[in-house]
Chains A and B, each alone.
Chain A
C-alpha cells in the first residue's frame, strides 16, 4: 500500500536558519509528488509539485524540493527561513488519478 512518512513532526528554527523537511514515500510505480502548506488560519495550498523532468523543483516563497528516486524521497528545503514561514507542511504522493496520500505533517515554528 502507498504510504508517506514525514519524520520531523515539530521543527523549531530561528529566522535565517536553513530548513530541510524529510519526506519518504512507499510506492512502486510512477509517482507525482507534492508539498502543501497550511499557514495559521488559512487554507491548505500548494507549495510545489513534481511530475517529471528536473528532479529539483522550485516552488513559491523560495522553497524547493529534490526528488531522489533511489531513496524514495522528496525533501523540502529553504536556505533561509522567515517568521512568516511558520506553518504546517504536508508531503503528498499519488500514483493514480483518484487517490492522494498525505504524510502526517510537520509543524514548523520560526522564532523571530
Chain B
C-alpha cells in the first residue's frame, strides 16, 4: 500500500531533550516536506527536500533540523525542544514538487513540557 508513515504518533518530552520524528514514504517520491499545524494558523512549512541531499528552509525552520540521506526517509530533528514546539507535525511527499498532489502522513502529536 502506497503510504507515508511517521513515528512516533504521540510523544511527550521535556525541554532540551533531543528527539527525532521519522518519516518514510514508499512511493519513490522525490519531494518531501514537514509541516506543523497549530490552531488558527493552519499548516506551516518547516523544511522541504527536492531530492536526496537537497534540503531547504520553509517558513518556520527555527529549532528544527532535517536530513535526506535516502530518498524514502526524511527525519525531523529537534536538537533542544522547547514548549513552543508543542504542535501537530505532518510529513508529506509528492513525485516532484509542491505543485503536485501531496500525500500526508498520519501526523505526530508532540508535547514539550
Number of residues on chain A facing chain B (CB within 8 A): 24
Bin the interface of chain B by size: 20 to 34
Asked if B42 and A44 sit within 8 Å, CB to CB, the answer is: no
- Check if B45 is an interface residue, CB within 8 A of chain A: yes
Residues of A within 8 A of B98 (CB): 94, 96-100
B35 to nearest A CB, angstroms? 7
- Mask for B15-35, Cβ within 8 A of A = 1, else 0? 000000000000000010101
Within 8 A of A (CB), among B31-53: 31, 33, 35, 40-45, 48, 50
Asked if B97 and A98 sit within 8 Å, CB to CB, the answer is: yes
- Check if B86 is an interface residue, CB within 8 A of chain A: no
Q: Report the bound CA distance from A98 to B99 in whole Å.
A: 8
Asked if B42 and A98 sit within 8 Å, CB to CB, the answer is: no
Chain A CB within 10 Å — which of B31, B33, B59, B99 has the most?
B99
- If A9-B40, A97-B96, A102-B43 touch, does A46 touch B90 (CB 8 Å cutoff)? no
Chain A CB within 10 Å — which of B31, B50, B92, B104 has the most?
B104
Asked if A97 and B97 sit within 8 Å, CB to CB, the answer is: yes
Q: Which of A45, A99, A101 contacts B48 (CB 8 A)?
A: A99
Residues of B within 8 A of A49 (CB): 101
Closest 3 CB pairs of A and B: A97-B97, A104-B42, A44-B104
| Apart from the given pairs A36-B102, A90-B42, A97-B50, 8 other A-B contacts in the complex at a CB distance below 8 Å | A36-B104, A43-B105, A45-B104, A98-B48, A98-B56, A98-B98, A99-B98, A100-B98
